[in-house]
Structure 1
Amino acid sequence: MKKRVRKTPGKIRMLKAKFKRKHGYSLDLENPRTLSEKIQWIKLNGNIKRFSKYVDKFRVRNYVKEKIGEQYLIPLFGVYDNVNQIEWGKLPNSFAMKTTHGATWNLIVKDKTRINRVSAKRKLRRWLRLRYYTITGESNYRNIKPRIVIEKFIKDPTGDLKDYKFFCFHGEPKFIQVDGGRFSNHKRDFYDLDWNNIPVRLKYKHFQEPVTKPSRLNEMLTIARKLSADFAFVRVDLYYTNEQIYFGEITFTPANGFKPFRPRYYDELFGQFLDISKYI
């Protein structure tokens, strides 16, 4: 199904050049087939500004509470409009800080007595000044008030808190991405819903040993279905530690559509499940 792309020729040329550089094949916006191509098409034509409240790291908590219950939310210590509002003395010894309006802008504080507060404040102020959507072109980050969220620091007894990312198409999870070693030696693997390993690589190297199937995987799949039910495509991220499931985030444009699948076959396979006409 051909769809007309509604952006300026200059912007399209730049997008196509970047896509070719990242993926090694030409971006087809008239008949997108791979998931990466369809993400680019969605960014241009999908009116994803309306999804801002779901990628807002604070506002999304209300959506999660309504859909699956607040027991899956990481405990919140506070939300702040600026760094000066943070009462460091009242915070526990460990916590996680993140901004509401972007991705990867996080600070993990394992021991606040050892943190350089001047450096941390400087970094937070810089993030609050930036506008993530102008950097990446993902308009779903556009209508978000920049704030700082501070949550409980959750950890795994193994020392490696894994992140389970469910690729959901039209309300149904199809693939599971598992990330570990996020702050040391990042590893990533993919599994199907029966926990069979899928031989695809997306940027990071594979785990040396197979990841153990979560004992509450079926519950995690149910959560992913409920949180993705209202969307054509979304990645639902969950944590699982100490037999507890926690919501991580919702992502509509994973990796901005620029991380290549190896082999490319899986980019096409993932893309087959997404009907972009649902964005019209």
Structure 2
Amino acid sequence: MKLQDLDSQKIENGNFHTSLSDYRFHCFLKQVGFIQVANPAHTHNNLFTPNWQALSIKYLNTPDSKLLSKPYKLDFMINITERLSSTIAYVRIDMYYIENTQQVFVGELTMTPNGGTAQFEPNYWDKEFGSLWISK
């Protein structure tokens, strides 16, 4: 499947996109600090360490109660994000992973997700993740 095939399927089959989770890699000074997984409807966000340890944090939306399994290509996805972020102090890199074909697509790179206004609960995570950016 090519990227244009993914787009055309999304257009031809209006619910194609409902099966894709959005893997959002928050990169600080060339390294993944945490991974945000948004469900297809963007009503839940789960946060993970780069080693796929679940974090008990609310970010924008409540975490999904379903157990999210580690993507088979997670190491590959992290490698891509760290290469793409190598010259950027902070960037969120969004990816889509299609499990049955094991394909990875880069969706977007953003330097100011949510205009920088989204907060973590509990709020001490704001400082914790901020320290990944300023302490190096």
- Regarding TM over 0.5, the answer is yes
8 Å CA contact 1:74–1:247 kept in 2: the answer is no
Match of 1:195 in 2: 52
Q: 1:160 aligns with which of 19, 23, 36?
A: 19
Q: Secondary structure at the match of 1:209?
A: coil
Q: Secondary structure at the match of 1:249?
A: strand
Deviation at 1:181, TM superposition (A): 3.2
Structure 1: tracts of 5 or more residues without a match: 1-70, 78-90, 96-108, 112-152
Aligned residues, how many?
A: 134
TM-score relative to the length of structure 2: 0.86
- Say if 1:187 and 1:202 are closer, same or farther in 2 by CA, change over 3 A: same
When the two chains are superposed, the root-mean-square deviation of aligned CA atoms in Å is 2.7
Q: Which has the higher contact order (CA 8 A, sep 6+)?
A: 2
C-alpha separation in 2, matches of 1:94 and 1:234: 26
- Identity fraction in percent: 29
Counterpart residue type for residue 219 of structure 1: F
Match of 1:172 in 2: 31
8 Å CA contact 1:167–1:175 kept in 2: the answer is yes
- Say if 1:210 and 1:231 are closer, same or farther in 2 by CA, change over 3 A: same
Larger Rg: 1
In terms of fraction of residues, the more helix-rich structure is: 1
TM-score relative to the length of structure 1: 0.44
Counterpart residue type for residue 44 of structure 2: K
8 Å CA contact 2:57–2:63 kept in 1: the answer is no
Displacement over 6 Å in runs of 4+: none
1:141-165 per-residue CA deviation (whole Å, 9 max, x = no partner) reads xxxxxxxxxxxx964xxx5310100
Match of 1:256 in 2: 115
Match of 1:265 in 2: 124
C-alpha separation in 2, matches of 1:244 and 1:154: 15
C-alpha separation in 2, matches of 1:170 and 1:93: 36
Structure 2: tracts of 5 or more residues without a match: none
8 Å CA contact 2:24–2:36 kept in 1: the answer is yes
Whether 2:35 is the aligned partner of 1:75: answer no
